[in-house]
Chains A and B, each alone.
Chain A
Amino acid sequence: MTSASFPVISALDALTGALFLLTALGVVATRQVLASLQLFILQSLLLALSAVLLGIGLGSPHLLAVAAITIATKTLMIPWLLRHTVSAEVYRTREIERVLNIPSSLLISAVLIMVAYAVANPLLNAVDVPFAQVNLPLGIAAMFLGAFTIAVRREAVPQLLGLLAVENGVFFAGIAIVPNLPVIAELAAAVDVPVITLVIGLLTRQIHRRLGTTSVGRLAALREE
């Protein structure tokens, strides 16, 4: 069975993958904190869409459950949690100060995507699953971009979103390689991720209350009082 046997679904999945990668790039590059949160929500929706498409294509009801869980946690619960733990002031901020400026971080992102394809190619020979052609390299690329977001950003909330984007990338690759993962594993992830969000959100709230800023990139040096 190859992905050529359902051309329309694989084409739509490829389109979803492309947009998924674009949103990952957007999370790296946007200035406004609120916009990167919205991009993350969009990315999660695209992940769910890809899961639905794969579920239809492979006839796997597990993937539909994955899509439902993704929508419930990542597009509803996590934004809600972040809104309520971190003060609204943070969302209005623009991140002027970054480790790298936007054009160079975009160029590095392009290199990372190339690396992701280079890494995925040998793996693709090993896994003979339809849709892995699209999902595996793009998922790995989104993973790299998420990790890069954590490295390049200095605000706490975008860094958290980078972490969640890594998680999205793992899922995006995972749903193609292991379409029949037990739902219990997905549920475990679905509980973990909001808890992480809650913890980091509360931490950010504390940092913001103490220092009046959430630029955690500046917290590298110790200072005695």
Chain B
Amino acid sequence: MLERIVYNLLQVFVVVAFAPLVEGVTSRLKEIIQSKRGPSIFQPYRDIWKLLHKDEIVSEQSSWIFRAAPYVAFTAPVFVALLIPVLTRYPLFFAFMGDMLGGGFVLALGGFFAALAAVDTANPYGPMGASRTRMVGFLAEPVFIIVFLTVSFVAGSTIPYIVQTRWVTPIANFFEPSHVLLMIAFLMLILAEDGRIPVDSPSGQFELAMIERSKSLEYSGRGAALMKWAGAMKLFVLIIIFLNVLVTPWGLAEGMGLGEVLLAIPLVLLKVLGFVLVLVYIESSLAKLRLFRITEFLGAAFVISVVAMITRLSGV
């Protein structure tokens, strides 16, 4: 029992500690592809450290929501990390506290508070980014619902630990059409949810074109550090759900030994690196879509997930 609690906290630690690294590796790889040298992969850590030591300036006109939002946004992925299989194959202590839908709600709560905080300061760019995020959000919502519905219908459960084994035992299940289609739809969702190209440009500095990033423009000091960290953790958590539940539930600890669980950390990070390579490939080879073309992108994701559901329900 005690071990399960300890491992659960270890999962949270892994998510908190390695999320900025993923962001650093992603941006470094992108720069290398563009024939530049790029910042060190530890640059996000330095940024966060620097921001934590700076003064925080909060507008007098803003309400408590503006002050609370970074903490809510930071806590949401940490909380989700308790529920999902990061390192182990067997459910840990807090795993039954919430299912995948619960995790989705908690992640959405963080996004909701960030959007409210962006509106709160009345900075002209904040509300614009917030409304755009909501637009992407409500287009992504049906895809999320259908993906979750299909996944839990297949496994007969909404607990991610039970879902993950269903797709790979036997290995022929991996090639089921519905599984492949779901993977594609979920990948498109991650791109949309995290504001990646082709939906949004994460490194863009032009406020009028921002979707995701403009929500945290008003933050400084500790607030900015937490928002940045929260963004990195959200991506990390989504990647972990994608890899460990949907695509490759291998390399996770089977037994209760501490050694096995610790060994799972580098294996999981290796899988994440593989995902990052795919992400960098996508980001480097596509252009950002115009705002109203995002409907087409997410419409395609929706149709793919519906097709996955149909092929599943009709027993192929």
> Which residues of A are at the interface with B, using a C-beta cutoff of 8 A?
7-8, 10-12, 14-15, 17-19, 21-22, 25, 29, 102-103, 106-107, 109-110, 113-114, 117, 121, 133-134, 137-138
Contact = CB atoms under 8 A, between A and B. Distances in A.
A17 B174 CA distance: 14
18 contacts: A7-B170, A10-B172, A15-B176, A18-B177, A18-B311, A21-B307, A22-B304, A25-B300, A106-B296, A106-B299, A106-B300, A106-B303, A107-B303, A110-B303, A110-B310, A117-B310, A121-B314, A133-B316
B316 A137 contact: yes
Contacts of A11: 172-176
A223 B174 CA distance: 57
Nearest to A19: B180
A17 B180 CA distance: 11
A11 B310 CA distance: 17
B316 A15 contact: no
Contacts of A106: 296, 299-300, 302-303
B315 interface: yes
Interface of B: 170, 172-178, 180-181, 184, 295-296, 299-300, 302-304, 306-307, 310-311, 314-316
A18 B181 contact: yes
Contact of B177 (A15, A102, A109, A117): A15
Contacts of A25: 300, 303-304, 307
Q: Which 8 A-B pairs have the closest CB atoms?
A: A18-B177, A103-B299, A11-B172, A11-B175, A15-B175, A102-B296, A106-B303, A7-B172
Given A7-B170, A11-B176, A133-B315, 14 more contacts: A8-B172, A11-B174, A14-B175, A14-B177, A14-B316, A18-B181, A22-B304, A102-B296, A106-B302, A106-B303, A113-B306, A133-B316, A134-B177, A138-B177
Contacts of B181: 18, 22
A11 B177 CA distance: 8
Given A14-B175, A18-B311, A103 B180 contact: no
B175 to A, nearest CB: 4
A103 B311 CA distance: 21
Nearest to A121: B314
**Would you call the interface of chain B mostly helix, strand, loop, or mixed?**
helix
A95 B311 CA distance: 31
A193 to B, nearest CB: 26
A109 B303 contact: yes
B22 to A, nearest CB: 28
A139 B304 CA distance: 17
A137 B184 CA distance: 21
Contacts of A14: 175-177, 316
A132 to B, nearest CB: 11
Nearest to B300: A106
A113 B306 CA distance: 9
Q: Which of A12, A109, A110 has the most CB of B within 10 A?
A: A110
B306 A110 contact: yes
A102 B299 contact: yes
Contacts of B307: 18, 21, 25, 110, 113
Contacts of B174: 11
Given A18-B311, A29-B296, A107-B299, A12 B306 contact: no
A184 to B, nearest CB: 32
Contacts of A109: 303
Nearest to B176: A14
A141 B163 CA distance: 29
Contacts of A138: 177, 316
A13 B174 CA distance: 12
A25 B308 CA distance: 13
A12 B173 CA distance: 10
Nearest to B293: A102
A122 B170 CA distance: 29
Nearest to A25: B303
A133 B310 CA distance: 13
A86 to B, nearest CB: 26
A89 B306 CA distance: 36
Contacts of A8: 172
A130 to B, nearest CB: 13
Contacts of B302: 106-107, 110
Nearest to A103: B299
A71 B100 CA distance: 44
B198 to A, nearest CB: 13
Contacts of A134: 177, 316
B175 A12 contact: yes
A111 to B, nearest CB: 9
Given A113-B310, A114-B310, A18 B299 contact: no
